Structure 1
Amino acid sequence: MSKREEQGEPGPHTAGSLAHRVPDLGAMELLLAVARLGSLGGAARELGITQPAASSRIRSMERQLGVALVDRSPRGSRLTDAGVLVTDWSRQVVEAAEAFDAGAQALRDRRDSRLRVAASMTIAEYLLPGWLVALRTQLPDTAVSLLAGNSAAVAQRLLTGEADLGFVEGVSVPPGLDSTVIAHDRLIVVTAPRHPWARRRRPLAAAELASTPLILREKGSGTRQVLDAALGGLARPLIELSSTTAVKAAAVGGAGPAVLSELAVGEELATRRLVSVPMADVTLARDLRAVWPTGHRPTGPARRLLSLTRLPPGRVQ
């Protein structure tokens, strides 16, 4: 034992991490090819590298290990006794790496075989169907499940591992999640044509809207959060419902005024089953976001779906 090693210091062959002391997989695969073919040039061709590059890699491996591995001659390349031993060890390492790679591929295949999406109601009903149809053409073997709920429920499902990717429409990103804006939306006030607001000549003031009982989504929904934040508070709901479709149906039926996404009421406005009521002093705009647990960027099918949400309208493919 050297004086340095007696003092607890690493010697020249023990210093550094294992990665610095052991040749890389590429060098080991090259040595195995040389042993099998008996030719450095043949090994280089098999691995798709030049012969000078192969020679350089073998020399680097020999310097790293401190022993000669290959005797080169005009008749070919022959392993030294040390080279035979190192080749046997390399074969075990390469086989272990192949098993590692196969296991990793199995994990990727299992990940890619399913996609669990959680989305707030407006996005789930009016945007996600088109994205999922496009995803199906690209990943036909991926089974997709959709969990629809309000923005708070979406956050909870992501944080508990029940969903791989989420979509929300509130005023802020729920704690514990990262996000990216995928679209913009606007909330509008709507009523049935026979409601007095449908015939008013002056735009509706924010104060009047805030003091009027409305057909509303439940607390925790993105629509409710945006409306509450913009108006600084709301009157007691006329009716409280758990889906955009239910709110829209109640408004069409004449139960009272509602505030809904433009995405949700295009057909009803076009057919005059609902009438849009102009606002005087507030714009109810909001961002639609894709969300995922902090530090866990979407991968696999979730990443593919996220990319589809960023295509311009009419370009989903």
Structure 2
Amino acid sequence: MKQYLEVFVMVAEKKNFSRAAEELHMTQPAVSQYIRALEESMGTRLLERSNKYVRLNKAGEIVFHYAKEILGLYVKMQNSVDDLINKATGSIIIGASYTFGEYILPHIIAQLQQNYPEITPSIQIHNTKEIIELVLDHQLDVGFIEGNLKNEHLTSEVILEDEMFIVASPKHPLFKMQKEICISDLDKETWILREIGSGTREATENFFRMHKLNPKRLREFGSTQLIKESVEAGLGITLLSRWAIEKELTNHSIEIINVKGLPFKRDFSMITNTPYQIKALKTFIDTLHHYLANQQNFLER
């Protein structure tokens, strides 16, 4: 059944029998035979076919969702059995929200690869909401999100406290005030925000609620890098993690606004969805804790 599901998932993702066959190193007739056999076992058609496209129907969408989860669990099972007799090796799939994934995780992966080259991590970057869903569906071995999570199906551990600052272009009029800015002064500013579902967006909205801010001029952009470029260009102000702005602060392309009551603090959390961790995942998590502990010690000096 595993191979039938693998073929079905590939066809659904490629939306084409010949491209799926090429990816799977199979002939197109063999792929078609696997799909027919799976549809017969399900008792219904799963794909709508024409000369121009192949797409999932309603039944196919259900099978595709569970097939991805089953294949993810199969890999976990295989790795767990191999883990009984082998050292830390093999693949792990790591997911992270943008701030953690783009500004912290690469340094941890570099340290892991230096010490354990036989572990092969792959990384997926999504917003916090999507990372939670992927961990729930067993598509990720471990996920990192912004904020704390309470979910009876997932194990969550706060791993790092994050400090967030309001930043703007050095040419922004707020820097001419030559004093500590009151939070109420920020209500009339143009704010550049991440999309809904992002941990940074959630933190910003929490900051607004906490300080009773209701800014009317909001612009929504889909990436932290785009927000930083926009702030540097003078389009507005934003609230970002200190991890995300280190380089910009160093070259003074953006600056921290001296606002009373900041920095705003939130947590980064690690989430998992399995009672058993293979050695490769345990080794990664140990490397993570070691790296973060060293960073904390450095900041406290």
TM-score range relative to shorter protein: 0.5 to 0.7
Q: Secondary structure at the match of 1:230?
A: helix
Alpha-carbon offset, residue 300 of structure 1: 2.3
2:137 maps to 1:160: yes
The 1:268–1:104 alpha-carbon spacing in structure 2 relative to 1, beyond 3 Å, is: closer
Q: State the aligned residue count.
A: 212
Distance 1:314 1:212, change over 3 A: closer
Structure 1 residues 234 and 156, CA gap change in structure 2 (3 angstroms) = farther
Offset at residue 112 of structure 1 (A) = 4.4
SS in 1 for 2:243: helix
Give TM-score, length-normalised by structure 2.
Answer: 0.63
Match of 2:265, SS?
strand
Q: Is the alpha carbon distance of 1:154 and 1:188 closer, same or farther for their aligned partners in structure 2, counting shifts above 3 Å? A: same
* Residue 304 (structure 1) aligned to one of 253, 269, 283: 283
- Read off the aligned partner of 1:310 and give its amino acid letter: H
Q: CA deviation at 1:237?
A: 5.7
Cα contact 2:92–2:280 (8 A) shared by 1: yes
Distance in 2, matches of 1:290 and 1:303, equals 13
Paired residues for 1:179-198 under 5 Å: 179-198=156-175
User: In structure 2, the residue corresponding to 1:310 is in which secondary structure?
Assistant: helix
Structure 2 residue 143 is matched with structure 1 residue 173: no
Q: CA deviation at 1:257?
A: 0.8
Contact residue 192 and residue 237 of structure 2 kept, 8 A: yes
In structure 1, the partner of 2:245 is 265
- After superposition, the C-alpha distances for 1:234-272 in whole angstroms (9 at most, x for unaligned) are 535632122211111111121111111111112211222
Q: Percent identity?
A: 24
For the aligned residue pairs, the C-alpha RMSD in angstroms reads 2.7
Q: Which amino acid aligns with 2:286?
A: S
- Larger Cα Rg: Structure 1 or Structure 2? 1
Letter in 2 for 1:161: H
Does 1:313 pair with 2:290? no
Q: Secondary structure at the match of 2:101?
A: helix
Of the three residues 169, 181, 187, the one matched with 1:204 is: 181
- Aligned pair 1:133/2:95, yes or no? no
1:243 to 202, 223, 231: 223
Q: Give distance in 1, aligned partners of 2:279 and 2:167.
A: 40
Secondary structure at 2:266 match in 1:
strand
1:118 aligns to 2:98 (yes or no): no
Aligned 8 A contact 1:155 1:174 in 2: no
Name the amino acid aligned to 2:294: P
**1:219 partnered with 2:200:** no
Give the partner amino acid of 1:173. L
| Partners of 2:133 and 2:214 in 1: CA distance | 25
Q: Distance in 2 between matches of 1:286 and 1:297?
A: 29
**Residues 116 and 164 of structure 1 are in contact (CA less than 8 Å); yes or no, is this contact kept in structure 2?**
yes
> Any idea what the Cα deviations from partners look like across 1:97-136, whole Å, max 9, x if unmatched?
xxxxxx9337876994211000011111111111111111
**Maintained 8 Å contact 2:163/2:264:** yes
Q: Distance in 1 between matches of 2:280 and 2:99?
A: 22
Q: Distance in 1 between matches of 2:134 and 2:89?
A: 19
Output the CA distance in 2 between the equivalents of 1:256 and 1:193: 11
Secondary structure of the corresponding residue to residue 185 of structure 1:
strand
Distance 1:199 1:297 in 2: 56
Q: Distance in 1 between matches of 2:124 and 2:111?
A: 18
Change beyond 3 A, Cα 1:283–1:269: closer
What's the TM-score once normalised by structure 1's chain length? Answer: 0.60
Structure-2 separation of matches of 1:145 and 1:251: 31
SS in 2 for 1:162: coil
Q: How many angstroms does 1:202 deviate by? A: 3.2
Match of 1:252 in 2: 232
What is the CA distance between 1:160 and its match in structure 2?
0.7
Q: Is the 8 A contact 1:168 1:288 kept in 2?
A: yes
Q: Which runs of 5+ in 2 are unaligned?
A: 1-79, 297-301
Which ranges of structure 1 fall in alignment gaps of 5 or more residues?
1-102
Secondary structure of the structure 2 residue equivalent to 1:247: helix
CA distance in 1, matches of 2:218, 2:196: 14
Q: Is 1:292 equivalent to 2:268 in the alignment? A: no
